[in-house]
Amino acid sequence: MFNLILFGPPGSGKGTQSEKLVEKYRFIHLSTGNLLREEISNRTPLGLEAKSFMDKGQLVPDEVVIGMIDSCLEHHKDASGFLFDGFPRTEPQAGALDKLLSLKKTEIALVLALEVSEEELVKRLLNRGKTSGRSDDTNETVIHQRFSVYRNETAPIADHYKKLKKFQTIKGEGSVEEIFDSICQAIDKRMKSFT
Ligand code: B4P
Protein backbone atom coordinates (compact mmCIF):
# COMPACT_ATOMS: atom_id res chain seq x y z
CA MET A 1 0.00 0.00 0.00
CA PHE A 2 1.40 3.42 -0.99
CA ASN A 3 -0.04 6.35 0.96
CA LEU A 4 0.73 9.95 0.04
CA ILE A 5 0.07 13.25 1.79
CA LEU A 6 -0.20 16.38 -0.35
CA PHE A 7 0.77 19.23 1.95
CA GLY A 8 0.78 23.00 1.50
CA PRO A 9 -0.99 26.26 2.33
CA PRO A 10 -4.54 27.12 1.20
CA GLY A 11 -4.61 27.60 -2.55
CA SER A 12 -1.27 25.89 -3.18
CA GLY A 13 -2.88 23.49 -5.65
CA LYS A 14 -3.50 20.40 -3.53
CA GLY A 15 -7.00 19.86 -4.92
CA THR A 16 -5.91 20.62 -8.49
CA GLN A 17 -3.00 18.18 -8.42
CA SER A 18 -4.95 15.52 -6.50
CA GLU A 19 -7.45 15.17 -9.35
CA LYS A 20 -4.63 14.39 -11.78
CA LEU A 21 -2.83 12.06 -9.36
CA VAL A 22 -5.96 10.02 -8.74
CA GLU A 23 -6.40 9.52 -12.47
CA LYS A 24 -2.80 8.42 -12.96
CA TYR A 25 -2.14 6.32 -9.83
CA ARG A 26 -5.70 5.25 -8.90
CA PHE A 27 -5.29 6.44 -5.31
CA ILE A 28 -8.38 6.73 -3.14
CA HIS A 29 -8.66 10.52 -2.73
CA LEU A 30 -9.46 11.75 0.77
CA SER A 31 -9.91 15.53 0.79
CA THR A 32 -11.22 16.75 4.13
CA GLY A 33 -12.14 20.09 2.51
CA ASN A 34 -14.32 18.32 -0.11
CA LEU A 35 -15.86 16.00 2.50
CA LEU A 36 -16.77 18.98 4.69
CA ARG A 37 -18.23 20.93 1.75
CA GLU A 38 -20.34 17.88 0.88
CA GLU A 39 -21.70 17.83 4.45
CA ILE A 40 -22.48 21.55 4.14
CA SER A 41 -24.33 21.15 0.86
CA ASN A 42 -26.35 18.25 2.33
CA ARG A 43 -27.17 20.49 5.33
CA THR A 44 -26.20 17.81 7.85
CA PRO A 45 -25.59 18.76 11.53
CA LEU A 46 -21.87 18.10 10.97
CA GLY A 47 -21.95 20.40 7.91
CA LEU A 48 -23.66 23.19 9.81
CA GLU A 49 -21.07 22.98 12.57
CA ALA A 50 -18.19 22.89 10.07
CA LYS A 51 -19.49 25.88 8.11
CA SER A 52 -19.28 28.17 11.12
CA PHE A 53 -15.53 27.46 11.36
CA MET A 54 -14.75 27.44 7.64
CA ASP A 55 -16.47 30.77 6.98
CA LYS A 56 -14.14 32.40 9.51
CA GLY A 57 -11.01 30.78 8.08
CA GLN A 58 -10.62 28.53 11.13
CA LEU A 59 -10.00 24.81 11.28
CA VAL A 60 -12.89 22.47 11.97
CA PRO A 61 -12.38 20.65 15.35
CA ASP A 62 -9.97 17.71 15.20
CA GLU A 63 -12.46 15.09 16.44
CA VAL A 64 -14.87 15.90 13.59
CA VAL A 65 -12.24 15.61 10.88
CA ILE A 66 -10.53 12.54 12.37
CA GLY A 67 -13.93 10.79 12.60
CA MET A 68 -14.55 11.48 8.90
CA ILE A 69 -11.17 10.06 7.90
CA ASP A 70 -11.65 7.01 10.11
CA SER A 71 -14.94 6.12 8.44
CA CYS A 72 -13.50 6.72 4.94
CA LEU A 73 -10.60 4.36 5.66
CA GLU A 74 -13.12 1.76 6.84
CA HIS A 75 -15.13 2.18 3.63
CA HIS A 76 -12.11 1.47 1.44
CA LYS A 77 -10.62 -1.62 3.07
CA ASP A 78 -9.24 -2.96 -0.23
CA ALA A 79 -7.56 0.26 -1.41
CA SER A 80 -4.05 -0.02 -2.79
CA GLY A 81 -3.20 3.50 -1.62
CA PHE A 82 -4.67 6.71 -0.23
CA LEU A 83 -4.01 10.29 -1.21
CA PHE A 84 -4.58 12.59 1.77
CA ASP A 85 -5.35 16.11 0.55
CA GLY A 86 -5.62 18.81 3.23
CA PHE A 87 -5.22 16.27 6.04
CA PRO A 88 -3.53 16.19 8.53
CA ARG A 89 -3.60 19.89 9.43
CA THR A 90 -2.74 19.74 13.15
CA GLU A 91 -0.49 17.64 15.40
CA PRO A 92 -3.41 15.63 16.89
CA GLN A 93 -4.59 14.87 13.32
CA ALA A 94 -1.10 13.68 12.33
CA GLY A 95 -0.92 11.44 15.42
CA ALA A 96 -4.39 10.03 14.76
CA LEU A 97 -3.51 9.29 11.13
CA ASP A 98 -0.39 7.36 12.16
CA LYS A 99 -2.49 5.28 14.56
CA LEU A 100 -5.29 4.61 12.06
CA LEU A 101 -2.81 3.54 9.39
CA SER A 102 -0.86 1.31 11.75
CA LEU A 103 -4.11 -0.48 12.64
CA LYS A 104 -4.34 -1.25 8.94
CA LYS A 105 -0.69 -2.38 9.02
CA THR A 106 0.40 0.42 6.74
CA GLU A 107 1.99 3.90 6.95
CA ILE A 108 2.62 7.15 5.08
CA ALA A 109 5.15 6.60 2.29
CA LEU A 110 5.72 10.21 1.26
CA VAL A 111 4.69 13.79 2.07
CA LEU A 112 4.95 16.27 -0.80
CA ALA A 113 4.73 19.94 0.18
CA LEU A 114 3.75 22.48 -2.47
CA GLU A 115 5.63 25.77 -2.05
CA VAL A 116 3.92 28.93 -3.32
CA SER A 117 4.42 32.61 -2.35
CA GLU A 118 1.67 34.28 -0.32
CA GLU A 119 1.17 36.89 -3.03
CA GLU A 120 0.40 34.17 -5.60
CA LEU A 121 -1.84 32.30 -3.11
CA VAL A 122 -4.00 35.37 -2.49
CA LYS A 123 -4.36 35.91 -6.25
CA ARG A 124 -5.41 32.29 -6.83
CA LEU A 125 -7.90 32.18 -3.97
CA LEU A 126 -9.60 35.50 -4.84
CA ASN A 127 -9.78 34.35 -8.43
CA ARG A 128 -11.37 31.03 -7.46
CA GLY A 129 -13.77 32.93 -5.17
CA LYS A 130 -15.23 34.74 -8.19
CA THR A 131 -16.69 31.51 -9.54
CA SER A 132 -16.64 28.87 -6.77
CA GLY A 133 -19.15 30.51 -4.46
CA ARG A 134 -16.83 29.51 -1.61
CA SER A 135 -17.34 32.05 1.16
CA ASP A 136 -13.80 31.42 2.50
CA ASP A 137 -12.28 32.53 -0.83
CA THR A 138 -13.98 35.90 -1.30
CA ASN A 139 -12.85 37.86 1.74
CA GLU A 140 -9.17 38.81 1.98
CA THR A 141 -9.30 39.02 5.80
CA VAL A 142 -10.54 35.40 5.95
CA ILE A 143 -7.83 34.35 3.47
CA HIS A 144 -5.12 35.90 5.69
CA GLN A 145 -6.66 34.21 8.73
CA ARG A 146 -6.33 30.86 6.88
CA PHE A 147 -2.62 31.59 6.20
CA SER A 148 -2.06 32.41 9.85
CA VAL A 149 -3.73 29.14 10.95
CA TYR A 150 -1.56 27.31 8.42
CA ARG A 151 1.66 28.89 9.77
CA ASN A 152 0.77 28.26 13.43
CA GLU A 153 -0.97 24.90 13.38
CA THR A 154 -0.25 23.10 10.12
CA ALA A 155 3.30 24.03 9.01
CA PRO A 156 4.87 22.72 12.28
CA ILE A 157 3.73 19.14 11.57
CA ALA A 158 6.19 19.04 8.66
CA ASP A 159 8.89 18.35 11.28
CA HIS A 160 7.24 15.06 12.21
CA TYR A 161 7.61 13.80 8.63
CA LYS A 162 11.06 15.38 8.15
CA LYS A 163 12.37 13.35 11.09
CA LEU A 164 11.05 10.21 9.39
CA LYS A 165 12.72 11.31 6.09
CA LYS A 166 9.38 11.24 4.32
CA PHE A 167 9.10 14.97 3.56
CA GLN A 168 9.93 16.59 0.25
CA THR A 169 9.19 20.07 -1.12
CA ILE A 170 7.89 20.71 -4.63
CA LYS A 171 7.94 24.09 -6.41
CA GLY A 172 4.22 24.90 -6.61
CA GLU A 173 4.47 27.82 -9.05
CA GLY A 174 4.45 27.33 -12.80
CA SER A 175 1.96 25.52 -15.02
CA VAL A 176 -0.27 22.80 -13.57
CA GLU A 177 1.45 20.30 -15.92
CA GLU A 178 4.99 21.29 -14.84
CA ILE A 179 4.07 20.89 -11.19
CA PHE A 180 2.34 17.58 -11.90
CA ASP A 181 5.52 16.28 -13.61
CA SER A 182 7.66 17.18 -10.57
CA ILE A 183 5.18 15.44 -8.25
CA CYS A 184 5.09 12.30 -10.41
CA GLN A 185 8.90 12.12 -10.50
CA ALA A 186 9.01 12.27 -6.70
CA ILE A 187 6.31 9.59 -6.36
CA ASP A 188 7.89 7.25 -8.93
CA LYS A 189 11.28 7.53 -7.22
CA ARG A 190 9.78 6.76 -3.80
CA MET A 191 7.66 3.90 -5.16
CA LYS A 192 10.81 2.17 -6.44
CA SER A 193 12.37 2.09 -2.96
CA PHE A 194 9.18 1.61 -0.93
CA THR A 195 8.17 -1.90 0.00
P1 B4P B 1 -9.39 22.83 1.50
O2 B4P B 1 -10.58 22.39 0.78
O3 B4P B 1 -8.36 21.81 1.86
O4 B4P B 1 -8.85 23.89 0.49
P5 B4P B 1 -7.62 24.79 0.17
O6 B4P B 1 -6.51 24.56 1.16
O7 B4P B 1 -8.20 26.16 0.08
O8 B4P B 1 -7.16 24.54 -1.30
P9 B4P B 1 -6.13 23.73 -2.24
O10 B4P B 1 -4.70 23.80 -1.81
O11 B4P B 1 -6.72 22.37 -2.45
O12 B4P B 1 -6.19 24.60 -3.56
P13 B4P B 1 -6.64 24.30 -5.05
O14 B4P B 1 -5.93 23.19 -5.70
O15 B4P B 1 -8.12 24.20 -5.05
O16 B4P B 1 -9.79 23.57 2.88
C17 B4P B 1 -10.85 24.47 3.04
C18 B4P B 1 -11.22 24.66 4.52
O19 B4P B 1 -11.78 23.42 5.05
C20 B4P B 1 -10.10 24.98 5.51
O21 B4P B 1 -9.80 26.37 5.57
C22 B4P B 1 -10.70 24.46 6.86
O23 B4P B 1 -11.60 25.38 7.42
C24 B4P B 1 -11.47 23.22 6.44
N25 B4P B 1 -10.64 21.99 6.56
C26 B4P B 1 -10.21 21.21 5.54
N27 B4P B 1 -9.46 20.19 5.99
C28 B4P B 1 -9.39 20.33 7.35
C29 B4P B 1 -8.73 19.59 8.37
N30 B4P B 1 -7.96 18.51 8.11
N31 B4P B 1 -8.87 20.02 9.67
C32 B4P B 1 -9.64 21.09 9.96
N33 B4P B 1 -10.28 21.83 9.04
C34 B4P B 1 -10.16 21.46 7.73
O35 B4P B 1 -6.18 25.62 -5.79
C36 B4P B 1 -6.64 26.91 -5.50
C37 B4P B 1 -6.83 27.72 -6.77
O38 B4P B 1 -5.59 27.87 -7.45
C39 B4P B 1 -7.80 27.06 -7.76
O40 B4P B 1 -8.65 28.06 -8.27
C41 B4P B 1 -6.89 26.52 -8.87
O42 B4P B 1 -7.50 26.53 -10.12
C43 B4P B 1 -5.71 27.47 -8.81
N44 B4P B 1 -4.45 26.84 -9.19
C45 B4P B 1 -4.04 25.60 -8.83
N46 B4P B 1 -2.81 25.34 -9.34
C47 B4P B 1 -2.44 26.47 -10.06
C48 B4P B 1 -1.28 26.83 -10.82
N49 B4P B 1 -0.24 26.00 -10.97
N50 B4P B 1 -1.24 28.06 -11.37
C51 B4P B 1 -2.28 28.92 -11.21
N52 B4P B 1 -3.41 28.63 -10.52
C53 B4P B 1 -3.49 27.42 -9.93
Span 36-93, pLDDT tens digits? 999 999 999 999 999 999 999 999 999 999 999 999 999 998 898 999 999 999 999 9
Confirm whether 134 is a catalytic residue. yes
CA of 15 to the centre of ligand 1 (A): 6
Supply the pTM of this predicted model.
0.94
pLDDT digits (tens, 9 = 90+) for 152-174: 999 999 999 999 999 999 999 99
Q: Measured in angstroms, how far is the CA atom of residue 140 from the centroid of ligand 1?
A: 15
What atom of ligand 1 comes closest to residue 61's alpha carbon?
Answer: 32
Residue tagged active-site, from 20, 104, 134, 190: 134
DSSP 4-73: EEEE-STTSSHHHHHHHHHHHH-PEEEEHHHHHHHHHHTT-HHHHHHHHHHTTTPPPPHHHHHHHHHHHH
Which atom of ligand 1 is the closest one to the Cα of 13? 14
CA distance 190 to 106: 15
